Structure 1
């Protein structure tokens, strides 16, 4: 056990805090806490997270985290520099090739549309000319004039009855046709709302209303980032859905029917979207913890 681990463990025992209680407070797994006390930093997901986890441990047991990190700076492994692969020129050539194919297809489609348009124009023009010529022909005269038949007189309404349009053959007035009943408009579905309710002990708590499941989308940007996604059971962290280190440009999507607890090793390297709503994580390279719950349904 290292001197730093002895200091942290003594402070924890003086405050009568078990490793299980410390895990619930810091949201750091028990095996990582034991590794910090034993000085076995290789168990942790990476050197970058050693300082962040030690800082959270020190705050939870009442120690000054900055002073602890300063005193034992030589015992803590330095964070390894992030290696970012250069962008390959192959992507540029692929993009150019795709653009060339798209341009060729667009030109071919435009040419076909132009041919059909010209054909339609000439056919329409010829058809209109033919119909106009037939209208200009003089009317044919017959030898015998056809007498015009006078229009029948409109019968007048009787003294005790309605008009002819309102009476049938038997002289009875038909019953009025009832107007159709209006169709009720469908009830719109409730809009999904993601709302920050509180921030407590380094954790941001969000609620989601208008949805029966959580859709969590995480995109890594800039640097690699370690993350962990857990299901909540009975108000506490339960089954681990995923944990690991992901690289720049990778996107992970999770579908959950329970509340979720999220841990990000480097908040500035993450874009988070919950049920289509962007959730701010922060622009500082520190550990970030977020809990997402379903809003209570009102009757």
Structure 2
């Protein structure tokens, strides 16, 4: 056991605190507190996270956080410092070109000239009378059907092809038969489904003999039931609701959509139900 872990455990036991109570108060997983007290730093996340655990745990036990972090640094060894590499090419500065006075002047003159020509054209049309423009919808002219030849034996009668009418406008959707041989379109709407619930179950592997019976229900249907062993991971998906029942809750670590929620229970051997979303 490391000196840092011994000091943390001695401070906790002197105050009559259990690991389960400390885990609830500090919001640090019980397995992480055990790893800190045993000096098993390889079981914990990165260096920055470990320092945060030590600071929170030390403040909770009434110890000096900076002193314990320095002790952790000596036990684990100095970490590599972040080296800042200067940029090879300095970022180029943006250049703005202001329009010259002459450019603005010529553009203004051109716009005035175009407006003058347009006004003159409108005046000439007004003097000569306004031409009326008749608008009408184009209609398709269907030629009269040609007389069909009389059917002969051994030969099927020919069927005249229906005239094809042009479609003036179309809208995205599903085509259906309309009146007079036209085609109408029915707009379709695609419903956007909600984001699924992704749940990962992991069995803790601090001792190596952890296990738990697990049953998973997704949207009311049982999709998994079996015994998971130490270090095993399983991922499940649901659209509305997921329910997990475990026989050994402290060994079952649950993560929802990438966010770890911790063990689903604190008492070994006492089965619990763990729903998401919570009731």
Same fold (TM over 0.5): no
- TM-score bracket for this pair, using the shorter chain length: 0.3 to 0.5
TM-score with structure 1 setting the length? 0.32
Which has the bigger relative contact order, CA under 8 A and spacing at least 6? 1
TM-score with structure 2 setting the length? 0.34
